[in-house]
Amino acid sequence: MAVIEINHPLIQHKLTLLRNKNTDTKSFRENLNEISKLMTYEVTKNLVLDEIEVETPLMKTTGYTLGTNIAVVPILRAGLGMVDGIVSLIPTAKIGHIGVYRDEETLQPVYYYCKLPVDVQNKQVILVDPMLATGGSAIYAIDYLKNAGVKNIVFMCLVAAPEGIAKVLQTHPDVAIYTAKIDQGLDSNGYIYPGLGDCGDRIFGTK
C-alpha cells in the first residue's frame, strides 16, 4: 500500500501553527480539527458509492449515496483530537476507541482499553493518531483491529517519522498511511523531530 503525504497549502499552513510552541491549547485544538477535516477528503476519495434516484424541483435524476460503512477509531488519547473533524464530514460514522500508550523506557506499546463498534469487521476503519513515531502503537492497534476481523483499514496521522512508516509498512503492507508531513526522523528518546511536541498534552492542556 502507499504512503500519501498530503501537501495541500491550507494543511501545511495549519500544521505550521501546530508546530509553534507558543500556540495555545484552544488554537491547537482548532487547527488539529481543521487539518483532520481537510485530510478526510483525500482519505475517503475511493469510497464506494451507491447509485440512487433523486427528484429535484425540476426532474428525476441520478444521485449517489455512500455505500461504505465507516468507523473512526482514534488511538487514545491524542487521536481524540482528530475525530470531530472527520465526523463533521461523515456524521453517520461509528466511533471506536483503542487505548495504547508508549512506555517511555522501553518505547513499547502498552494496551489499556478497547471498545469497537458493532459489526466493525464490515466497516472501512479510519485509524487515527496525530503522531506516527516508532510505529509501535499503530502496529498494535492495527493488529487488534485485524484480530477483530477488520479487513479494510487506513491509518491517518499529522506527522510521521520515516522509521515508523517503514515498520508499519513492513508489518502491515496492506494498510495505506495518510500523513500531512513526513518529518526528519526520531531523536534518541523516540520523539519525532521537528514534530509537534507531546500532542496529547497540547490538545488537553495537561502540561
Active site residue 187: no
Q: Residues 19, 68, 84, 102: which is the catalytic one? A: 102
Contact 128, 142 (CB under 8 A): no
Active site residue 201: yes
Contact 135, 168 (CB under 8 A): yes
Q: Is 24 annotated as a binding residue?
A: no
Cα(151)–Cα(167) distance, rounded to whole angstroms? 19
Q: Torsion-angle region of residue 70: left (phi > 0), alpha (psi -120 to 50) or beta? A: beta
Cα(134)–Cα(198) distance, rounded to whole angstroms? 14
Q: Show the cell assigned to 170.
A: 513492513
Q: Is 130 annotated as a binding residue?
A: yes
Q: Is 134 annotated as a binding residue?
A: yes
Q: Is 10 annotated as a binding residue?
A: no
Cα(37)–Cα(88) distance, rounded to whole angstroms? 7
Q: Is 198 annotated as a binding residue?
A: yes
Q: Is 157 annotated as a binding residue?
A: no
Q: Is 19 annotated as a binding residue?
A: no
Active site residue 56: no
Q: Is 206 annotated as a binding residue?
A: no
Q: Is 136 annotated as a binding residue?
A: yes
Q: Is 202 annotated as a binding residue?
A: no
Backbone angles phi, psi at 144, to 5 degrees: -60, -45
The interaxial angle of helices 80-87 and 25-43, nearest 10 deg, is: 50
Q: Residues 16, 106, 171, 206: which is the catalytic one? A: 106
Cα(108)–Cα(63) distance, rounded to whole angstroms? 48
**What's the farthest any 2 CA atoms get from each other in the chain?**
66
Active site residue 84: no
Catalytic residues, by residue number, are: 102, 106, 198, 201
Binding site for 5-phospho-alpha-D-ribose 1-diphosphate: residue ranges?
A: 77, 102, 129-137, 198
Binding site: residue ranges?
A: 77, 102, 129-137, 192, 197-199
Binding site for uracil: residue ranges?
A: 192, 197-199
